[in-house]
């Protein structure tokens, strides 16, 4: 965690923030115990859910738990230009939503540009 440098606050009840890795320059979304309402069990369940989505064939950002001397956090790769599923649903047409549910039922859904612990294309 000590190599992740704070960039900016992100919206959400768990108080996530965007961070940049000091060595690689990669961007990450960080959710830590000392911010918001997140618990370690909540973090671990999100990482497990990400793994289950991948096992089901959905393309979700890489995520992991970091547990070191600076604390415990869930980190997920940042997807530039991404949006939350909630934001997408707010602007999607009824036809796009119907198509999404049809693709989910067929196991072929790929949503473009969703970030954090959500789908991406």
Model pTM? 0.70
Cβ–Cβ under 8 Å, residues 75 and 29? yes
What radius of gyration, in Å, describes the C-alpha atoms of the chain?
15
What is 83-108 written as a DSSP string? B-HHHHHHH--HHHHHHHHHHHHHT-
Residues 42 and 44: their CA atoms lie apart, in Å, by 6
Say which residues have a Cβ less than 8 Å from residue 15's Cβ, sequence separation at least 6: 9, 31, 35, 36, 37, 38
Instruction: Spell out the domain ranges in the chain.
Output: 4-80, 83-114
> Quick one: pLDDT at residue 10?
87
CATH code 3.30.200.20 for 4-80? yes
Q: For the chain, which residues score pLDDT lower than 50?
A: 112-121
């Amino acid at each position: 965690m000590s190599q992740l440098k704070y960039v900016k606050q992100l919206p959400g009840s768990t108080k996530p923030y965007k961070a940049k890795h000091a060595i690689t320059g990669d961007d990450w979304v960080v959710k830590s115990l000392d911010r918001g309402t997140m618990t370690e069990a909540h973090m671990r369940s999100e990482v497990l859910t990400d793994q289950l989505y991948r096992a089901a064939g959905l393309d979700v950002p890489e995520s992991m738990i970091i547990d070191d001397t600076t604390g415990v956090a869930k980190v997920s790769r940042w997807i530039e230009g991404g949006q939350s599923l909630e934001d997408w649903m707010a602007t999607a047409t009824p036809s796009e939503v119907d198509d999404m549910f049809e693709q989910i039922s067929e196991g072929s859904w790929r949503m473009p540009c969703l970030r954090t612990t959500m789908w991406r294309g």
